Chains A and B, each alone.
Chain A
Amino acid sequence: MKKNPFSLHVSLDDFAPATDAEKAYMVQMRPSTTFFKDGMKRLLKNKIATISMIVIILVTLAALILPVFWPYSYDAMLGVNPGRPVDASYNNLAPFQFGETELERMAEGEKIFPHVFGTDSAGRDYFIRVVYGTRISLSVGFFASIIVLIIGMTVGSIAGYFGGKVDLIIMRIVDIIYSLPDMLMVILLASVLKQSGLNEAIEGTILEKLGGNIISLFIIFALLYWVSMSRQIRGQILSLKEQEYVLAARATGAKGSWVITKHLLPNCISVVIISTCLQIPSAIFTESYLSFLGLGVNAPMPSLGSLASDALNGITTYPHRLVIPAVVISLIVLSLNLFGDGLRDAFDPKLKN
């Protein structure tokens, strides 16, 4: 029977299962790229950012692994042995020099691990102190940024999503904290928290080793530094919540917390990662600044700032003790900054001008 071209009858042939050849035609030639993969590709193309990333990874690994097998520890005074008078020849050694008893043992054919950066005025191996200081500075930077991230994200998303009076009140508080001179407040709080019995409160816990000053540093970050993060998140949420998919989620009865965690926050993840990454160097800055003023880590625990500040006393005779931590801290901050910039360019191309 001849088919009427104007017939509205559905031809069954159109609904036959596709043959393998037809299916193969539809297969994509290359896998679709995800947001993350796309960003990583752009990041790795950026030479400066890649180099900075490698530097950060190397420094972090060195700070984590080296103390495990290094023969000296950061607080062992090499000239002090139980039952013997203090051997002053270990104090203030120049790089690759040895103390008297070590020289004797070497004369007998023993191999002694060199003091790569010499020792400090108390006879402690300076290399391992720098490594430990790097570890402390890096972990302070990292954990402070995590604290800032959590608080900033929570407050910012609540303010942005609920809007209205909640937003108004939160943003006024943010305004005031934002206009407080942060460094002065940090110094004030640090100098007070130092006296306020925090050390007794954390005695016996795992926090004791960190020292009250580092805990107070974290408290300060939790109190003051979340504001700019929360402002950014709020801005993102404000623009994202007008999107259709949020309306759809709400229309199907999703609650506020669900919409925030499942729909809004994953979509501002790039802003979150970038500002967290840029927060780390600023935290390292703050820590070293406080350590320099004597409000940082507890002795004998070193941090890069306290090492530099201790080195000031012998600056004319032992300049390397100042230069080494100075170089390390600048290297870390520089590579973190460059890496953060690279991340921003890669994951948020809209921002690039």
Chain B
Amino acid sequence: MNTKTLWYILKRIALALLTVWVVITVTFFVMRAVPGGPFLGEKAISEAAQAALEAKYGLDKPLMEQYITYLKDIVTAFDFGPSLKLRGRNVMDIITDGMGVSVKLGLVAAGIALVVGVVLGAVAALRRNKLVDKVIMVITTACISMPSFILGTLLLLVFALQLAIVPANGETAKGLILPIITLSLSPMANITRLTRSSMLDVLGQDYIRTARAKGVSQMKIIFGHALKNSLIPVITYVGPMLAYIVTGSLVVEQIFAVPGIGRYFVSSITGRDYPLIMGTTIVLATLIVIMNLLSDIMYKIVDPRINLE
């Protein structure tokens, strides 16, 4: 690693920190801009009760003071304050509760998408313009064109309700099969296409021709020479893929009733639980920013030829 790469990584980390700060600030001020405050939708409450509630949650202080307290609590203690609707629970507790299942779900889905996608992409590239290639391309194009919630509901309809192979409820391990498939299909299709095109690109390079001319076996060419280099563009996709999985899991958890963070997020939107909306937005956004940061840095380290400036 030379100084230029190091400099790039530092710059990238600075940008990531800035982004997280922007997310927190935007979330805070946008939420405070809601007219009437978070208690407007409650049953008619007296002004005294309203004032008491606002004093309890610190909403009567000047805006800047609230902002600084909020920021300080997050940075020093990961504290997003109490939830408004689930009385007596902290936003952070709710998030850590739901996070376990969601992370498991997301990681398994990402892993499946990566492995299957790379294999299918390599197969398609090696059998270019043959039947296998065409079938793979048609299926992946169809997968990309379906929003995850449509895919999820259709899978639910066919496999859980009509055929009754798996439970429709995502609370058991078996019930997580469908959510995982739903989440992994679209990224898998993208990875397949990405691997295919970069593999075709690599297979046309001079060093592959040289290896062929030297009489290296086909297997060794594919696994020893071609695959490694054709995986570089896939690394760039890992960040966006995890972002897709995070946002996709919001609706997928809703559809399959998985007790993860996404379900809390959706119910916090409909229930207007502002601290919970803010907390989950910030945590998920930070997660996505970190993923993007890691995949960018990986990309730079793996292939130093690339100039990302």
With contacts A289-B147, A316-B161 taken as known, whether A176 is within 8 angstroms of B22 at the C-beta atoms is yes
Whether B19 lies near A180 (C-beta < 8 A) is yes
Whether B19 lies near A353 (C-beta < 8 A) is no
In the complex the two chains form, what is the Cα distance from A189 to B145 in whole Å? 25
Residue with the highest number of chain B CB atoms closer than 10 Å, among A179, A185, A189: A179
Contact of B150 among A180, A197, A329, A353 (CB under 8 A): A329
Contact count A vs B, C-beta below 8 Å: 125
Whether B16 lies near A292 (C-beta < 8 A) is no
Residue of B nearest to A315 (CB): B157
In the complex the two chains form, what is the Cα distance from A183 to B23 in whole Å? 12
Whether A195 lies near B150 (C-beta < 8 A) is no
- Mask, B261-298, CB within 8 Å of A = 1, is 00001100110100001000100110011001000000
Whether B147 lies near A181 (C-beta < 8 A) is no
B55 at the binding interface (Cβ < 8 Å): no
Residue of A nearest to B145 (CB): A334
* Main SS class of interface, A: helix
Give the shortest distance, in Å, between B244 (CB) and chain A (any CB).
8
Give the shortest distance, in Å, between B195 (CB) and chain A (any CB).
14
Give the shortest distance, in Å, between A108 (CB) and chain B (any CB).
40
In the complex the two chains form, what is the Cα distance from A288 to B145 in whole Å? 13
Report the stretch among B27-35, B75-83, B120-128, B230-238 that lies at the interface.
B27-35
B299 at the binding interface (Cβ < 8 Å): no
B203 at the binding interface (Cβ < 8 Å): no
Give the shortest distance, in Å, between B52 (CB) and chain A (any CB).
22
Whether A176 lies near B19 (C-beta < 8 A) is yes
A333 at the binding interface (Cβ < 8 Å): yes
A175 at the binding interface (Cβ < 8 Å): yes
In the complex the two chains form, what is the Cα distance from A281 to B19 in whole Å? 27
A261-315 contacts to B, CB under 8 A, are 281, 285, 288-289, 292-295, 305, 308-309, 311-312, 315
Report the stretch among A25-33, A97-105, A318-326 that lies at the interface.
A318-326
A160-216 contacts to B, CB under 8 A, are 175-176, 179-181, 183-185, 187-189, 191-192, 195-197
Residue with the highest number of chain A CB atoms closer than 10 Å, among B40, B147, B201: B147
Given the complex, which residues of A lie within 8 Å of B23, measured CB to CB? 180-181, 185
Residue of B nearest to A288 (CB): B147
Residue of B nearest to A334 (CB): B145
Give the shortest distance, in Å, between B288 (CB) and chain A (any CB).
4
B50 at the binding interface (Cβ < 8 Å): no
With contacts A180-B285, A185-B26, A308-B149 taken as known, whether A195 is within 8 angstroms of B19 at the C-beta atoms is no
Give the shortest distance, in Å, between B202 (CB) and chain A (any CB).
12
In the complex the two chains form, what is the Cα distance from A191 to B30 in whole Å? 10
Give the shortest distance, in Å, between B246 (CB) and chain A (any CB).
8
Contact of B255 among A195, A294, A295, A312 (CB under 8 A): A312
Whether A315 lies near B156 (C-beta < 8 A) is yes
Contact of B243 among A181, A196, A309, A329 (CB under 8 A): A181
B165 at the binding interface (Cβ < 8 Å): no
Given the complex, which residues of B lie within 8 Å of A191, measured CB to CB? 269, 272, 277
With contacts A184-B247, A289-B251, A316-B161 taken as known, whether A176 is within 8 angstroms of B285 at the C-beta atoms is no
Contact of A326 among B150, B243, B250, B269 (CB under 8 A): B150
In the complex the two chains form, what is the Cα distance from A39 to B150 in whole Å? 35
In the complex the two chains form, what is the Cα distance from A146 to B272 in whole Å? 32
Whether A330 lies near B161 (C-beta < 8 A) is no
In the complex the two chains form, what is the Cα distance from A92 to B22 in whole Å? 48
Given the complex, which residues of A lie within 8 Å of B197, measured CB to CB? 353
Given the complex, which residues of B lie within 8 Å of A44, measured CB to CB? none
Whether B266 lies near A293 (C-beta < 8 A) is yes
In the complex the two chains form, what is the Cα distance from A176 to B162 in whole Å? 46
In the complex the two chains form, what is the Cα distance from A180 to B201 in whole Å? 31
B144 at the binding interface (Cβ < 8 Å): yes
A338 at the binding interface (Cβ < 8 Å): yes
Contact of B284 among A184, A293, A326 (CB under 8 A): A184
A337 at the binding interface (Cβ < 8 Å): yes
Whether B147 lies near A334 (C-beta < 8 A) is no
Given the complex, which residues of A lie within 8 Å of B30, measured CB to CB? 188-189, 192
Given the complex, which residues of B lie within 8 Å of A183, measured CB to CB? 243, 247
Whether A308 lies near B35 (C-beta < 8 A) is no
Contact of B145 among A315, A319, A337 (CB under 8 A): A337
Given the complex, which residues of A lie within 8 Å of B216, measured CB to CB? none
Residue of A nearest to B21 (CB): A176
In the complex the two chains form, what is the Cα distance from A223 to B121 in whole Å? 36
In the complex the two chains form, what is the Cα distance from A294 to B267 in whole Å? 11
Whether A195 lies near B34 (C-beta < 8 A) is yes
B229 at the binding interface (Cβ < 8 Å): no
With contacts A179-B16, A308-B150, A330-B146 taken as known, whether A192 is within 8 angstroms of B161 at the C-beta atoms is no
Give the shortest distance, in Å, between B167 (CB) and chain A (any CB).
14
With contacts A179-B19, A180-B19 taken as known, whether A330 is within 8 angstroms of B150 at the C-beta atoms is yes
In the complex the two chains form, what is the Cα distance from A98 to B292 in whole Å? 55
In the complex the two chains form, what is the Cα distance from A129 to B23 in whole Å? 38
Residue of B nearest to A292 (CB): B149
Closest 7 CB pairs of A and B: A334-B145, A183-B247, A181-B288, A333-B145, A326-B150, A179-B19, A181-B285
Extra inter-chain contacts (19) besides given A312-B255, A329-B146, A330-B145, CB under 8 Å: A176-B22, A179-B16, A181-B247, A181-B285, A184-B285, A185-B26, A191-B272, A192-B31, A192-B34, A195-B40, A196-B35, A281-B145, A293-B250, A293-B251, A315-B156, A333-B145, A333-B147, A337-B141, A353-B201
Task: Enumerate chain B interface residues (CB-CB to A < 8 A).
Answer: 15-16, 18-19, 22-23, 26-27, 30-31, 33-36, 40, 141-142, 144-147, 149-150, 153-154, 156-157, 161-162, 197, 200-201, 243, 246-247, 250-251, 254-255, 265-266, 269-270, 272, 277, 281, 284-285, 288-289, 292
For this complex, 19 residue pairs linking A to B, each with C-beta atoms less than 8 Å apart, are: A175-B15, A176-B19, A180-B19, A181-B247, A184-B281, A188-B281, A289-B147, A312-B153, A315-B156, A315-B157, A315-B161, A319-B162, A323-B154, A326-B146, A326-B153, A329-B147, A329-B150, A334-B142, A338-B141
